[in-house]
Amino acid sequence: MTKTTFDLIVVGGGPGGYVAAIRGAQLGMSVALVERAELGGICLNWGCIPTKALLHSATVLRACREAAHYGVTGAGEARPDLAAMVARSRKVAGRLGQGVAHLMKKNGVTVFGASAKLAGAGKLALDSGATLSAPHIVLATGARARELPALPVGERIWAYRQALVPADLPKSLLVVGAGAIGAEFASFYRAVGAEVTLIDMTADILPQEDAEISQLARKAFEKQGIRVLTQCAVKASSATATGVKVVLDQQGKQSELEVERVIVAAGIVGNVENLGLERTRVKVEKTHIVTDGLCRTAEPGVYAIGDVAGAPWLAHKASHEAVLCVEAIAGKPAHPIDPLRIPACTYSYPQVASIGMTEARAREHAKQNGGEIRVGKFTFAGNGKAIAMGEDQGLVKTVFDAKTGELLGAHIIHPEASELITGYGVAASLEATEEDLMHTVFAHPTLSETLHESVLSAFGRALHA
């Protein structure tokens, strides 16, 4: 007979949910994981992982086309095989999904393939008819793409799922939303040959990033042939014989654009429906569950982590919350996560990565507190490894508290930005000052030397600028 009583039940098997289940098992709890679809969640199956597989295919294609520049002949005629790229990305996602299943078995986690809703104190009702019970229930149900009334998803208007498995390459494409997801799809489809228009309602692409970095990203995108329109929205759409006609409104000026396909990447909404929350004290604001610093909701014994619990909507934030939430449940020392110490990465070409405050936010913060900031910048054009790689375009920018030397923010634009940002993440977590960073020895020749030089620049000591 299947066990139905546990110490901990997790609802949702994404990067928050499955990590919570593993950590609970490591701490000696009996754990159940309820997942209605695929282990690994959207991130592993339809988000983070398959998009990175496609983007890496684009990187390989780009390298082949530019091979002659590096003294390699015969690769310049490289062409994309879209079907093979998609098949590889699905294979990568499938392999990792199997890995999560193995981890559940290895850690003794009981997995239920079902939907679940709260059914009273410490109880979950599954749509399979079973009822599970536990004193602690963690909701990790994630989020889904926001729908736009003017752009109903279908054969020609895609959300991320359809965009990840195209049957054919569209000759022309409109990407609505220039955040991380939109920027990544724009980069991929442009690399494989589509004519891409990228629009956003805000004044900049990647609007959550530092303004200077966003402007550099826009220039890089436009140099690749991506048409970028900001302060622009879709007012209406209609099907044509070959695609979709959209009406664009850019600061009150309307125009029409006809494309073969549209990708909607206009944000997300939390999966809070059909969880039985209406019969509890759990509070929901703007489609996200309200929690405290230890992921507790207003309902005793019910917790929420990851995308369903609000911004930032990042897999690594979900995993970190999973660990601190379960450790707090187990009575271990746990500390609320500091949003300013969570790195954000966009895997477009070039990549953009950041942690902490933007320069504008840091200046405002300093002004309100009677302080000052120091800003350092170093371009990859001054870095030997970047020049050797042929990737010498980009910038590292650091922001410090002028008095205390605290690292307030760091921002990078470069094809390897996502790998570099963790250096600043470690520094912020250890509360390293500018002096600590300046005295750190960075290996030569490496891209990471740019991190050092940017810090030196903030205090007038850059060596290679």
Which region, left, alpha or beta, applies to residue 64 given φ > 0 means left and ψ of -120 to 50 means alpha? Answer: alpha
309 is annotated as contributing to ligand binding? no
Task: Using alpha carbons, select from 440, 442, 451, 458 the residue that is nearest to residue 416.
Answer: 451
401 is annotated as contributing to ligand binding? no
* Residue matched to tokens 């746990």: 334
Task: Using alpha carbons, select from 354, 361, 359, 294 the residue that is nearest to residue 329.
Answer: 294
187 membership: H or E segment, kind and range:
helix 180-191
99 is annotated as contributing to ligand binding? no
425 is annotated as contributing to ligand binding? no
Task: Using alpha carbons, select from 65, 85, 69, 66 the residue that is nearest to residue 77.
Answer: 65
Q: Which residues are catalytic?
A: 444
Contact 235, 149 (CB under 8 A): no
267 is annotated as contributing to ligand binding? yes
163 is annotated as contributing to ligand binding? no
182 is annotated as contributing to ligand binding? yes
What CA–CA distances, in Å, run from 390 to 62, 218, 377, 424? 12, 20, 20, 24
145's tokens: 């793409």
184 is annotated as contributing to ligand binding? yes
180 is annotated as contributing to ligand binding? yes
Longest dimension (CA), the chain: 70
150's tokens: 């003017």
> Which segments of 167-315 are extended strands (E)?
172-176, 195-199, 227-229, 232-239, 244-250, 253-259, 261-264, 268-270, 284-285, 288-289, 302-304
Give the residue ranges of DSSP H helices in 272-395: 315-329, 359-368, 384-389
Peptide bond preceding 300 in cis form (omega within 30 of 0): no
Q: Which amino acid is at 75?
A: A
Contact 232, 373 (CB under 8 A): no
177 is annotated as contributing to ligand binding? yes
Contact 300, 307 (CB under 8 A): no
183 is annotated as contributing to ligand binding? yes
Binding residues for FAD, as ranges, are 52, 307
Binding residues, as ranges, are 52, 177-184, 267, 307
Binding residues for NAD(+), as ranges, are 177-184, 267
